[in-house]
Amino acid sequence: MAIKRDYYEILGVAREASDEEIKRAFRRLAQRHHPDIDGSDGAEERFKEVNEAYRVLSDRQRRTAYDMFGHAGVDGAAAGGFEGFGGGFGPFGDIFDAFFGGQPGATRRGRRVVAGSDLRYDLRIEFAEAMAGVTREISFPTLVTCTVCGGGGGEPGTEPERCPDCDGTGERRRVAQTILGQMVNIVACPRCGGEGRIVTHPCQQCGGDGRIREQRTIEVSVPAGIDSGQRIALEGQGEAGPRGGPPGDLYVAISVADHPELVRRGTELYHELPVTFAQAALGATLSVPTVEGTEELEVPPGTQSGTELRLRGKGVPRLRGGGAGDLHVIVTVVVPGKVNKRERELLEELGRVSGPATLPKGGGTMFDRLRDLFS
């Protein structure tokens, strides 16, 4: 029987984390590991694991039982069905929020707090910077908390008033008669936008929004081994929420420039090394490009075109540590298109001495590679 992981460890939060911190961690992981987005092996299991952890830790009673008795205190409850439809969709509502534009932090009863929008910044770095890691300064326009009203939206010295339409609940109930009976639909109050209060004296600096637009400059630490298409998530560095709402996140999308002589495939690097007929036949010591610069490589005598020589640990650093990949050097014997008179004489003499060509023993020829490809 598999041992279950600690729920706090799964969500990446401390045991004393607040409800909001747990919710934000769940939203971030749900977006990252959803099977429709994460195509890696085990994505569906990781998504289920994250969902199970959140179902327990987002419920006050279940969390208390888990803190006291561990998995034994909540087994059977964490894997329950769609309970609680009367009070919302539980964690499924948060998944809808995460993927379909819902506002994180919005309460289903009482004042509705709206979080700021997430932001994306496209950062292009050089190949060497991606290999070694780099700290870059980025600048972007965003909405920040108004310094005059402190994000409240009202003029200093004034307080927002309770919304008279919803009496401060932030909700309006609409009753409709259907063939199934009376149905009650709860929607956000249109007058206060679900906040339950109205700013009667808007701040002149921000117009009552609680935010102003300005250019922000921050430093981003790019880890060694990052690749194009990967993102760095900076929690709380997005837009400020309106009227004191929590900020969104900033996602830095990385684009890595190509190397002129190296081709990357994950943590592995590949280089095509051209050699002359003489170098392949007699052997040679040649210089090849690496992540750090260049390195001397011994090409053994009798090397055939297409031979792969490997430099261990000279590939791309692994993001989570544990060394680096390898550098694969593919040897290509270059046959000259034109030869002068002296070169022709030498080649003709070599042909008379060496006799007819034969394939090398032990496989590795083009025929062997074709046979393996189509078998």
**Which of 27-36, 79-88, 282-291 reaches the highest mean pLDDT?**
282-291
The yes-or-no verdict on residue 48 having pLDDT over 90 is: no
Question: Band of the pLDDT at 148, cuts 50, 70, 90?
Answer: very high
In the prediction, which pLDDT does 357 show? 59
Mean pLDDT of 160-169: 88
Q: Give the range among 14-23, 55-64, 68-77 with minimum mean pLDDT.
A: 68-77
Model pTM greater than 0.75? no
Residue 316 — very low, low, confident or very high, per pLDDT cuts 50/70/90? very high
SS3 sequence of the chain:
CCCCCCHHHHHCCCCCCCHHHHHHHHHHHHHHHCCCCCCCCCHHHHHHHHHHHHHHHCCHHHHHHHHHHHHHHCCCCCCCCCCCHHHCCCHHHHHHHHHCCCCCCCCCCCCCCCCCCCEEEEEEECHHHHHHCEEEEEEEEEEEECCCCCCCCECCCCCCEECCCCCCCCEEEEEEEECCEEEEEEEECCCCCCCCEECCCECCCCCCCCEEEEEEEEEEEECCCCCCCCEEEECCCCCCCHHHCCCCCEEEEEEECCCCCCEEECCEEEEEEEECHHHHHHCEEEEEECCCCEEEEEECCCCCCCCEEEECCCCCECCCCCCECCEEEEEEECCCCCCCHHHHHHHHHHHHHHCCCCCCCCCCCHHHHHHHHHC
Give residue 72's pLDDT band: very low, low, confident or very high (50, 70, 90): confident
Domains and CATH numbers, the chain: 1-102 (1.10.287.110), 263-374 (2.60.260.20)
Average pLDDT, rounded, for the chain: 81
> pLDDT tens digits, residue range 80-125?
433 333 333 444 445 545 444 444 444 444 456 778 899 999 999 9
The residue among 292 and 354 whose pLDDT is bigger is 292
Residue of higher predicted confidence among 56 and 183? 56
Taking 70 as the threshold, does the pLDDT of residue 367 lie above it?
no
- State residue 188's pLDDT score: 82
Mean pLDDT computed over 318-346? 87
The pLDDT score that the predictor gives to residue 112 is 62
